[in-house]
Amino acid sequence: MSKRIVVLTSGGDAPGMNAAIRAVARAGHAAGWEVFGARNGFDGLVKGDLRPLGPRDVGGILQTGGTILGSARSKRFRTPEGRAEALAKLEHLGVTAAVVIGGNGSQQGTYALSKAGFAAVGIASTIDNDLVGSDLTIGADTALNVALEAIDRLKATGSSLGRAFLVEVMGRDYGYLALMAAVAGGAEAVVLPETDTDPDALAGEIRAAFDRGKPHGIVVVAEGAKMNAEALARHFKEHKDVGFDVRVTILGHVQRGGRPTYYDRMLATRLGFAAVDRLERGEHGVLMGVLRGEVAATPLSEVAGKAKPLDLSLLKLAGVMTR
Ligand code: F6P
C-alpha cells in the first residue's frame, strides 16, 4: 500500500493557503505519497471526510484566495473524544501523516495530534502573523497590502474634505497588522493592543497634525486594542475637537480574501514543499516557518499557545515619519 498523507486548512483562511495545499499535494506526489485533503479543517479528520488530491486537482489554485478545502475552528477536535475519533478514522483510511496549514489555534491541534504519536507537521499561515516560529506567516503580506490600498484611498478622499479616518484592521489581539500598516501607510497615529492609548492624548496628536497643516489624519486601530475605532470616534465626538471631521472605516474580512501576493505564494510554496520533505525524512512535531529569510522547523511545543512579541521599536520610526 502506498504512503498516505492528509493536508488540511484550519482557522481563519489566509491568502496563500491554496498555494500551500498545491505545494503539499505536488511535493507529496513527487515523493511517492498518496495525498488527501480533509474538508473543513480538523472537522474533516473527525468525520473521515477526505478526498484525493492529485497534482491535477490542485491546478489553477495558486493565485486564488480562501481555501479550496474549506476551513473551520473545530470544537469537536478540541475534546479528547473528538481527537480519538479523528485518529481512528485516519488509521482506518491508512493515513499516517498530516500537514496542518493554519495559525495559532490550529497549531495547538497539530501539537495535540503529534502528542498522540501521529506524524504531524504544521505550516505557519494566518494573516495575524502571531505565530512563534515564523517571522512572517502565509497571508500576512497580502492582508497588509489590502490595508495599504485602503489607507491610500482613504488619504485621497480624506485630503479632499479635510477628514480624519480611524481605520480598523484585523489581527485579533496582536498588533502586527496595525503597526506595519501604519508605518508603510504613513499614518498619523496607531493604536495597538500592546500599548496603552489615552484617547485624549491621541486626540491631541490628531489635532497637532491638523494644526501642522496636514490635509488628512489617518489613525490605524488594531481590532484588539482596548478602545476600538468606533469607541474612539465616539470619545472624540463627545469630548475632543481634533480639527478634522472624523470617520470610521472597519476593513474586517476584506483583508482575508485577496489574491495572494508574490511573497505569500513563494512562502506557501516553500513551506508546503519543506513540510513534505520533513515527513519524508521521518521528522515531525514541528512548525514550518521562515526565520531570517530561511525555511525553519520549530518544535510545536515551542509554538502552541505561545505569544510572539511585537517589535515596538517601530513605534519610534512611525512617530518620526508623521512630522
Ligand atoms: O485569525 C484571523 C482573523 O481574521 C483575525 O484577524 C480576526 O480577529 C478573526 O480571524 C476573525 O474571525 P472570524 O472570521 O471567525 O470572524
> DSSP 3-state helix, strand, coil percentages of the chain (rounded to 5)?
45, 20, 35
> Which spans in 186-224 are helix H?
199-211
The set of cell numbers assigned to 269 is 510554496
Classify 3-139+260-302 by CATH class: alpha beta
Q: Is 128 an annotated catalytic residue?
A: yes
Query: Which own/partner pairs from 278-284 qualify as long-range (CB within 8 Å, at least 24 positions apart)?
Result: 278/121, 279/5, 279/97, 279/99, 279/119, 279/121, 280/31, 284/97, 284/114, 284/119, 284/120, 284/121
- Whether 1 shows a pLDDT value over 70: the answer reads no
Bridge partners of residue 50, in order along the sequence: 38
Q: How far is CA 303 from the centre of its chain?
A: 15
> Does residue 65 register a pLDDT over 80?
yes
Q: Whose alpha carbon is nearest atom 1 of ligand 1?
A: 12
Say what percent of the chain tops pLDDT 90.
97
Catalytic residue of the set 43, 128, 130, 141 = 128
Helix (H) or strand (E) holding 192: none
- Residue 219 CA to residue 28 CA, distance in Å, equals 45
The b/e string for 169-203 (b: 16+ C-beta within 10 A; e otherwise) is bbbbebbbbbbbbbbebbbbbbbbbbeebebeebb
> Is 127 near ligand 1, meaning CB less than 6 Å away?
yes
What is the pLDDT at residue 95? 98
Bridge partners of 52?
A: 36
Report the pLDDT averaged over residues 105-113: 97
- Which CATH architecture describes the domain 141-256? 3-Layer(aba) Sandwich (3.40)
At position 117, the amino acid (one-letter code) is: G
Residues forming CATH 3.40.50.450 domain(s) in the chain:
3-139+260-302
Confidence of residue 258 (pLDDT cuts 50, 70, 90): confident
Ligand 1, atom 14: closest residue by C-alpha:
12
193 residue type, one letter:
P
Q: Where does the pLDDT of residue 240 fall: very low under 50, low under 70, confident under 90, or very high at 90 and above?
A: confident
Average pLDDT of the segment spanning 187-212 = 96
Joined grid coordinates for residue 302: 515551542
Q: What is d(CA 135, CA 115) in angstroms, rounded to the nearest whole number?
A: 25
Looking at ligand 1, which residue's alpha carbon is closest to its atom 3?
A: 12
Please give the radius of gyration of the chain, using alpha carbons only, rounded to the nearest integer. Answer: 22
In angstroms, the Cα distances linking 58 to 22, 36, 105, 307 are: 5, 11, 26, 33
Residue 80 CA to ligand 1 center (angstroms) comes to 25
The answer to whether the predicted template modeling score (pTM) of the entire model surpasses 0.75 is yes
Is the pLDDT at 148 greater than 90? The verdict is yes
73 is written with which cell numbers?
Answer: 475552528
| 172 Cα–ligand 1 center, Å | 6
pLDDT digits over 280-316, tens only? Answer: 999 999 999 999 999 999 999 999 999 999 999 999 9
What's the pLDDT score for residue 9? 98
Question: What is the spatial distance between Cα 95 and Cα 314, in angstroms, rounded to a whole number?
Answer: 45
104-115 vs 80-93: helix axis angle to the nearest 10? 70
Q: Strand order of the sheet with strand 217-222?
A: 189-191, 217-222, 163-169, 245-250
CB of 110 within 8 A of CB of 118?
A: no
**Closest ligand 1 atom, residue 177 Cα:** 6
Q: How far is the CA of 13 from the centre of ligand 1 (A)?
A: 8
The model's pLDDT over 89-98, given as tens digits with 9 standing for 90+, comes to 999 999 999 9
CATH 3.40.50.460 domain locations along the chain: 141-256
Q: In what order do the strands lie in the sheet with 119-124?
A: 50-52, 33-38, 3-9, 97-102, 119-124, 286-291, 294-299
Is pLDDT of 21 > 80? yes
Residue nearest to atom 12 of ligand 1 (CA): 12
